[in-house]
Amino acid sequence: MCTQTKAAARMVNIPQADIDPSGVFKYILIRVHSREQGDDTEVDIVRGYGWAEYHVDIYEKVSMELENDGLLDCECVGGGRIRHDAQAKKIHVYGYSVGFGRANHAVTTEKLKARYPDYEVTWDNEGY
């Protein structure tokens, strides 16, 4: 029987994507790793919020919340922007983060499609 580590069990409950309900805002792609020895579990999550002046503002808040019990470790693997039009059910991912570089928008788009299955979710590498 395979036993799941505490960190892996915790990762299962982390929402894959959490973004503001509408607007244009910065987002980051975070890779969450287990800190437990012998556990190489990891998951990528998307976080995007209009309150963030800089991409690092999102990273600092989210990583602090996730790392607070010592089970998980976070790494920002890039950022960009999201245009979320809830009325039209469209999300567009684009751009980059000056501090973290460009996120893999294809990964971000798949996470957002899973979270918003009835939306049209697109991406490109244009713009800032």
Active-site residues, by number, are 55
DSSP state of 97: B
Identify whether the C-beta of residue 32 lies closer than 8 Å to the C-beta of residue 74.
yes
Helix and strand element counts for the chain (H, E):
3, 6
Q: How many CA atoms does the CB half-sphere of 1 hold within 13 Å? A: 3
